[in-house]
Amino acid sequence: MKTLAPESRLDFAAIRKDFPIFTQKAHGKPLIYLDSTATTQKPVAVIEALDHYYRTTNANIHRGVYAIAEEATARYEEVRGKVARVLGARSSSEIVFTRGTTESVNLVSNAWGRKNVGKGDVILLTEMEHHSNLVPWQMLAAEKGAVLRFIPFDGRGKLDLSGLDALLEGPVKIVSLTHMSNVFGTINPVAEIARRAHARGALVFVDAAQSLPHLGVDVRALDCDFLAFSAHKMLGPTGIGALYGKREHLDAMPPFFGGGEMIREVKLEGSTWNDVPWKFEAGTMNIADTIAFGAALDYVERIGYEAIVEHSRELVTETMKLLGEIPGVTIYGPSPAERGGIVPFTLDDIHAHDVATVLDHEGVAVRAGHHCAMPLHRKLGVAATTRASFYVYNLPSDVAVLAEGVRKAKKLFSK
């Protein structure tokens, strides 16, 4: 990765060159990728790490005593240690590898939820949750006869905490919320909510799928009980992510999946479980992508979260300025200082898919739809929004092309 001297600002144009996909063209024009909230592009270092594993160290982990199996196991477990360090966890044993945020939520809602949530108990969520942090809790509530409550958001896309004490009254077992909205980009006050929830005896689950890539996360500063994220949203491969859980909760939870590796002893009549975190990692895990994710963590750390936050804020500020100058554009969410690298908008009564199609022909890739947040859009009173989202490979010139494309869409559909 090429950067300027330490005393200078990072050269994000040079960083962009680390991503092979930007040699591609879309409809004959340079690719401008503004859908990093959905998934990020991958630098050469990550691609090469994946290739290197399959070429040199492809073996199953925790089982073989031969050289490449031991090396694969060591490299896999090394990444667990990296994740623990990045999150500020007390121990690598508090890190469980999963397929991603969705699986992590389902793991906790099933393994912890079925044991601890009963009829009449309360699960507190927010109105801005991704479906992945909504549907599993709905399923648990339906099965157990539990009650769902929701922290509302206001007209600026920020959580309204004025009624939080009332929402926390009664048998609230868990509060599960996003740290950074995948639609608004809003950065929620998780530490404050966790403090108030713990005072009422509730646990706290944090969806950090967006916040970890953009802001960094310290689980002890947040004092959350569980936290989940996906590697592919921070330059890593798809199909790998992790669940952080305080050790006392993981020890008390039964397994979610049964099979090989998650057991200590198996008899025909029954089994005993392995220690955490392996108790929750049944079968052959996603070894190659886990190792490649370690390379992604290294890459993000070399850039530094301070630089990522500053870069994203500059891009968001410019985007909101240029789009705000276009008549008929409505931008949703808080100020640039209160959000990560996400800007959702609508254009007159033109459907978001039509706007995105025009942008695609300009080489600009954005997301259009409800972004797996249908209740949020229903409250906004719109069927869909167009969402531009940024990461380390985006430049101010991308924003200029985006704005010009939106102007073209307005002109085309105003005829």
The amino acid occupying position 5 is: A
Contact 160, 234 (CB under 8 A): no
Catalytic site residue from 38, 139, 161, 372: 372
Size (the chain), residues? 415
d(CA 391, CA 39): 10
Cβ contact 187:178 at 8 Å = no
Residue 372 bears catalytic tag: yes
C-alpha to C-alpha distance for 118 and 116, rounded to whole angstroms: 7
Cβ contacts of 59 within 8 Å, gap of 6 or more: 66, 68, 69, 71, 72
Q: What is the distance between the alpha carbons of residues 135 and 133, in angstroms, rounded to a whole number?
A: 6
**Tokens read off for 194:** 């966790």
Per-residue tokens: 305: 């979260």
Q: What are phi and psi of 58, to 5 degrees?
A: -70, 105
Nearest to 131, CA basis, from 396, 305, 374: 374
Backbone angles phi, psi at 256, to 5 degrees: -100, -50
Angle between helices 352-360 and 396-413 (to 10 degrees): 120
Cα distance between residue 388 and residue 24, in whole Å: 19
Whether 360 and 26 have beta carbons less than 8 Å apart is answered as yes
Which of 318, 347, 341, 351 has the alpha carbon at shortest distance from 405? 347
Q: Which residues are catalytic?
A: 372
